[in-house]
Amino acid sequence: MSLLSIRDLIVRFRTHDGTVYAVNGVSFDLDEGETLGLVGESGCGKSVTNLAVMRLLPSPAGHIDGGSVIFEGEDLLTLDESEMRDLRGKEIAMIFQDPMTSLNPVLTIEEQMVETIQAHRRVSKSEARTRTLELLGMVGIPQPEARLKNFPHQFSGGMRQRVMIAMALALEPKLLIADEPTTALDVTIQAQVLELLGRLAAEHGTAVILITHDLGVVAGMTQRINVMYAGYVVEAAVTGDLFARPRHPYTVGLLHSIPRLDAQPGEPLIPIEGAPPDLRFAPVGCPFAPRCAWRVDACWQTMPPLDPIDSGRQFVATGLRATHRAACWNPPTSEEAVAARPLRVGFEPAAPPAEVRA
């Protein structure tokens, strides 16, 4: 049994500007101790998916309109708020992008951490304090004793993120959701924090969902990756497979549009033309179709299912043998993935149907 199993999750926001179709049927599984990367651009639904798992969607706009989130055999979407509160932090913890806004600025680090521990564990204040010291030492805060009485603003960005990691791991959760944990940090500090996160997760056997837009970060940190676009998972694969044999046109485009430090100088970038879709319109067909060089007529009509690309093999959802899947009616061949364009003779991307053009 998987630790976490999300099925057909649908999340919408009802705003003054109309409904925002944020997550449009996302399914994935996660095993204990596994590290999964969720990759995509801003607005692709990667953060919203996880806020839905934590039941922390902004209210009253955010609504879970369908699906299930099974965590250790229990559907989190059916729990009431007090049961959910009991679970947050203890079973599932979260680290956010901006450590300044996710720590309470008017409480000292000691007060915040002791509060977190005592909220879930029946321990005395001094026991909680001892645990706090141990945790701060674990995440590499120098002189933790002296830092206990400090406020968040007295810490640097990297140190704050270390405090966040210490708090997230305080209750030894089974699942840690890290939402762009290093995006606000400098690259040398990012290296420190990622190294710490990876090491601690491995030591404690914590499963991690790492949300990021940075393909470089997931390449070194994860076992599996889900690529998201406009509220859908469009490709899912074991990390090595995804980079070596991308099979969705969006993944192919992403990999060609970022400069690599180890590339030959002068190697041209091949951008993805156009821009991500406006999520205020109900999705029709594949949301990537307007930007896709491989699109066929069906792409304008129906969203393709996230199917295994080597059919015939037995389907595996998690682990290092997970089946490579892509939601595409006309996936690029491996030669085309290298060239970043269709190579079939005479192939033209399908023109949009009349009603889309209008």
Partner 1 sequence: MSEMSPQTGAPASGVPGQTAGTQPSTARPLLEISDLRMFFPITQGILISRHVGDVRAVDGVSLSIQRGDTVGLVGESGCGKSTVGRTILRLYRPTGGRIVFDGQDITTAEGASLRAVRRSMQMIFQDPYASLNPRMTAAGIVSEPLEIHGVGAKSERQQRVRDLLATVGMDPSYGDRFPHEFSGGQRQRIGVARALALHPDLIVADEPISALDVSIQAQIINLLERLQSEFGLTYLFIAHDLSVVRHISDRIAVMYLGRIVETAGSRELYERPLHPYSVALLSAVPIPDPVVEGRRRRIILTGDVPSPANPPSGCHFHTRCWLRERLGNPERCVAEDPVLRPLSSGHQVACHFAEEVDGSAEQVLVTGRTPAPSGVAAPVPPPTAPTRPSPRPHDRG
Q: Is 243 in the site for partner 1 (CB under 8 A)?
A: yes
Q: Which is nearer to partner 1, 243 or 347 (CB)?
A: 243
Q: Which is nearer to partner 1, 194 or 207 (CB)?
A: 194
For 305, other C-beta atoms within 10 Å of its C-beta total 11
* Near partner 1 by CB under 8 A: residue from 18, 205, 240, 353: 240
Sequence-distant (6+) residues with CB within 8 A of 354 are none
Contact segment (CB under 8 A) with partner 1 among 81-89, 96-104, 180-188, 316-324 equals: 180-188
Q: Report how far residue 172's alpha carbon sits from residue 80's, in angstroms, rounded to the nearest whole number.
A: 23
Q: Is 217 in the site for partner 1 (CB under 8 A)?
A: yes
Q: Is 260 in the site for partner 1 (CB under 8 A)?
A: yes
Q: Report how far residue 189's alpha carbon sits from residue 211's, in angstroms, rounded to the nearest whole number.
A: 18
Q: Could you tell me the maximum CA-CA distance found in the chain, to the nearest angstrom?
A: 74
Sequence-distant (6+) residues with CB within 8 A of 31 are 2, 3, 207, 318, 319
Contact segment (CB under 8 A) with partner 1 among 57-65, 76-84, 104-112, 190-198 equals: 190-198
Pairing type for strands 175-179 and 307-308 reads unpaired
Q: Is 41 in the site for partner 1 (CB under 8 A)?
A: yes
* Near partner 1 by CB under 8 A: residue from 239, 318, 323, 330: 239
**Residue 23 contacts residue 258 (beta carbons within 8 Å):** no
Q: What is the 3-state secondary structure (H, E, C) of 248-284?
A: CHHHHHHHHHCCCCCCCCCCCCCCCCCCCCCCCCCCC
Q: Is 158 in the site for partner 1 (CB under 8 A)?
A: yes
For residue 197, the minimal CB distance to partner 1 (Å) is: 13
Q: Report how far residue 99's alpha carbon sits from residue 112's, in angstroms, rounded to the nearest whole number.
A: 13
Q: Is 271 in the site for partner 1 (CB under 8 A)?
A: yes
* Near partner 1 by CB under 8 A: residue from 75, 203, 205, 220: 220
The footprint of partner 1 (CB under 8 A) covers 41-42, 142, 156, 158-159, 186-192, 194-195, 213-217, 219-220, 239-240, 243-244, 253-273, 275-276
